[in-house]
Chain A
Amino acid sequence: MPAKLSMEGLYKVFGPAPEEAVKLAREGLDKDEIYRRTESVVAVDNISLEVESREIFVVMGLSGSGKSTLVRCINRLIEPTSGSLAIDGQDVLALDEGGLRQLRLAKVAMVFQHFALFPHRTVAENAAYGLKIRGVSPKQRREKAVEALAAVGLDAWADAYPSNLSGGMQQRVGLARALAVDPEILLMDEPFSALDPLIRRDMQNELLGLQERYSATIVFITHDLNEALTLGSRIAIMKDGSFVQVGRPQEIVSAPADDYVANFTREVDRSRVLTLGQIARRDRPLLEPQEEIAAACRKLSASGAQALLVQDSAQKPLGSVSAAQLLAADPAARVESVMERPAITAEAETSLATILETGGAGAPVALVDKQGRISATVDPGDLVNALAAARASEQPISQEKNVTAGVHNG
């Protein structure tokens, strides 16, 4: 099965000599040189990507990186200069006017940064716009529009005008307008950038719910890496018209491709991105409830952990003991007499933040498999180390930055 959306070597050049600029770009000249020779700007520079069905593909970049141009190439609001583009294996660039219109009517809907609602139409009429253009009867399109408005929680406002709504509500209408046509692909051009941070967080969560319900493939543009990490199944970091790195959120944060990406990820809250699976270890000893405290103490000090998990005969987690508890107890007693129940369990995909927020920072976490058996463990020390190591890994980069800055100043 072909990818939902695929691009191969896509270029978009603005200016008087697009063909020549593409040729020079293919020869590997940099953008300044191309502009000097042709007075043309390469906005999208040799982009190739594949978006799978029902994926949220986030393109993240600063303003001027070409991300808005790229997303407009997908439904040909902006005509690509060169390259190929296919949706469901169908060549989009070969479509004539009618075919392109069909694509926009039936398959690809769009949400805009500044909402782009029609001020002379009510909320319901706005939401029904795509259906009206499609020729759906007034009654049916009203029904569908109100349904889409209900999905974004605005059905009560159907007959208000957009100017009476707050920014967040207006963008919900923008979203409802796109959802009302049951799009297979949803293009979102910085839809939440104009909203307050709190409302933005709400909208992000809501979008994830809506995406599941409408099972759309989403191409999402943003300049906010936190937003990208929250929403994206995959993220592409864009700079000067080309992708610097494409990968899953964890890959972007844990292994930035270069300084440019690392610069962004420094600001990110790692605890939300790193998962327990990434830091868990399998080599930690596990205790039996009947074990003597003295033996447990030896195992603990040999492992270098701060606490150990206790398992039953079926390898299922029973509880945990910390170093302090072991030292305070009678060396001849059994582990079960000081053990804290129950053990904290989690899945490999759980983020560090989830564990930290549930107050589990002091106790070891057992990662369990489908049968409930302990597969790996996360020591409290591992948690702290993971967060600290993430910070430490930034250190050389920032020093390097300082050095280059010094050279420039000199």
Chain B
Amino acid sequence: MAEHTGLIEWFSPSTYGKLPFDDWVEWVVRDWLVPNFRPAFQAMQWPVDQVLRGLDAGLQAIPFPIFALVLVIAAWRFAGGGVAIFTLLAMLFIDAIGVWAETMTTLSMILTAVFFCAIAGIPLGIAAARNDRFATTIRPVLDIMQTIPPFVYLVPIVMLFGVGMVPGVIATIIFALPPIIRLTNLGIRQVREELVEAAVAFGSTPKQILFEVQLPLALRTIMAGLNQTLMLALSMAVIAALIGAGGLGLTVFTGLGRLDVGRAAVGGVGIVLIAIVLDRITQALGDPSLRKGDWTFNGTAKRLLGLAPPGPAQR
């Protein structure tokens, strides 16, 4: 090698040998993290497992017509008539192509991931909004989480958590967490300084400022973050299937493995339809005009009977 070395190659580090970065990472994960912390990581699985099992059992137990009806009504009340009709057609189509059970499995995985993203992400976002140093610390971490290809952390996840539904959900949580943190932080920081000042002037404690002023006014942005997190979680459905998660992702994955384009399309269409339905409903939930609506029994009844506009006012 040395005889080929020209002047220009003196400046290239690879001329002097390879840095064993891969060995280092492998050592850290396999020889340090796994033997020392595997029980801790296993323990982390427990709450995820419980929520996932509960949700899956619940969703699978509900008969198709009842679930579809509830979702259609929710779509109507929150997002209006058009979305309700779309939801009805989407549910019927998913059942007709024979992937209802898989859809419910995927849905329970997604909801579990979003649930844990929310209970971890919203407090982290609040902390980032209140502490500039924490915000600057967490930012590169979020950047890495959003840019690193999920395939890279699938391997250590399998080593630490094994294969199956729960590791799939954990991979999904890692992938889907950043937007809810970022948008909670943004939403709170966007609350007009003057309103916070007024709250302070009337003697509010920091906690009261947070719950009485900042969070309610940031709610719309936080809901947008939750919507983003939900969409990212859905986009992980196929990748999570690589490490043993089931559902629509598995249908796509097996279709891919057998070069069965029809099978893959069935799973893909299911994911797309459920994504559109959830997106429209959660977007409508973030609309403030909806929260001001009449949600008493009478108001709701009027809404359902079409006497009052079912969705948020058009603006």
Residues of A with Cβ closer than 8 Å to B? Answer: 75, 77, 101-106, 108-110, 112, 114, 116, 118-120, 129-130, 132-134, 161, 177, 181, 187
> Do A120 and B216 touch (CB < 8 A)?
yes
Contact residues in B for A109 (Cβ distance below 8 Å): 201-202
Contacts A120-B216, A120-B288, A161-B292 given; does A101 touch B197 at CB 8 Å: no
| In the complex, chain B residues whose CB is within 8 Å of the CB of A134 | 203
Known: A101-B205, A105-B203. A119 touches B217 (CB 8 A): yes
B203 touches A102 (CB 8 A): yes
- The 4 A-B residue pairs with the shortest CB-CB distance in the complex, in nearest-first order: A104-B203, A105-B203, A116-B198, A110-B201
Q: In the bound complex, how far is the Cα of B195 from the Cα of A228, in angstroms?
A: 26
Task: Give Cα A208 to B197, complex, Å.
Answer: 26
Given contacts A77-B197, A112-B194, A116-B195, contact A101 B213 (CB under 8 A): no
Q: Does B28 contact A (CB under 8 A)?
A: no
A133/B195 in contact, CB under 8 A? no
Are B292 and A130 closer than 8 Å at their CB atoms? Answer: no
Candidate in B194, B201, B212, B217 with the most chain A CB atoms within 10 angstroms:
B201
Bound state CA distance, A110 and B212, in angstroms?
A: 18
Given contacts A104-B202, A112-B194, 9 further A-B contacts (CB under 8 A): A77-B200, A77-B201, A104-B201, A105-B202, A109-B202, A110-B201, A110-B202, A116-B197, A118-B195
Q: Mark B177-213, 1 if CB is under 8 A from A, else 0.
A: 0000000000000001011011111111100100011
Closest to B205 in A: A101
Instruction: Collect the chain A residues with CB atoms within 8 Å of residue B204's CB.
Output: 133
A118 touches B202 (CB 8 A): no
Q: Could you tell me the distance between the alpha carbons of A305 and B173 in the complex, rounded to whole angstroms?
A: 94
Q: From known contacts A77-B200, A105-B202, infer whether A116 and B194 are also in contact, taking CB-CB under 8 Å.
A: yes
**Can you list 29 pairs linking A and B with CB atoms under 8 Å apart?**
A75-B201, A77-B197, A101-B205, A103-B203, A104-B200, A104-B201, A104-B203, A105-B202, A105-B203, A106-B203, A109-B201, A112-B194, A112-B198, A114-B194, A116-B192, A116-B194, A116-B195, A116-B198, A118-B198, A118-B212, A118-B213, A120-B217, A129-B212, A130-B202, A133-B202, A133-B203, A133-B212, A177-B202, A187-B201
Number of interface residues of B (CB under 8 A): 19
Chain B minimum-CB-distance residue to A119: B217
Expressed in whole angstroms, the Cα–Cα distance for A104 and B208 within the complex equals 14
Which residues in B have their C-beta under 8 angstroms from that of A181?
Answer: 202
State the B residues within 8 Å of A (CB). 192, 194-195, 197-205, 208, 212-213, 216-217, 288, 292
Neighbouring B residues of A75 by C-beta, 8 Å: 201
Q: Chain B: which residue is nearest A109 at the CB level? A: B202
Residues of A close to B292: CB separation below 8 A? 161
Q: Which residues of B contact A187 (CB under 8 A)?
A: 201
Report Cα–Cα, A67/B222, bound state, in Å. 37
B200 engages A132 (CB within 8 Å): no
Q: Pick the contact of B203 from A114, A116, A130, A177 — CB < 8 Å?
A: A130
- The distance from the CB of A345 to the nearest CB of chain B, in whole angstroms, is 47
Cβ–Cβ contact A112 & B202, under 8 A: no
Closest Cβ neighbor of A130 among chain B residues: B202
B288 touches A110 (CB 8 A): no
Shortest Cβ distance from B192 into A: residue? A116
Shortest Cβ distance from A176 into chain B, in angstroms? 13
Choice from B197, B205, B216, B288 contacting A112 with Cβ under 8 Å: B197
Closest to A101 in B: B203
CA gap between A190 and B29 in the complex, in Å: 62
B203 and A110 contact, CB distance less than 8 A: no
With A and B bound together, what is the CA distance between A281 and B195 in angstroms?
55
A220 to chain B, nearest CB (A): 16
Output the least CB separation between A160 and chain B (Å).
11
Give Cα A130 to B202, complex, Å.
Answer: 5
A129 to B198, CA, bound (A): 10
For A118, the chain B residues whose CB sits under 8 A away are: 195, 198, 212-213, 217
Smallest beta-carbon distance A67→chain B, Å: 16
> Contacts of A106 on B, CB cut-off 8 Å?
203
Bound Cα distance A323, B292 (Å): 74
Decide: A133 near B201, CB < 8 A? Known: A118-B213, A119-B217: no
* Chain A, Cβ-Cβ closest to B213: A118
A132 to B194 alpha-carbon distance, docked (Å): 19
Bound complex: CA A114 to CA B192 (Å): 11
- Chain A residues contacting B197 (CB-CB under 8 Å) are 77, 112, 116
Q: How far is the CB of B257 from chain A (nearest CB, A)?
A: 51
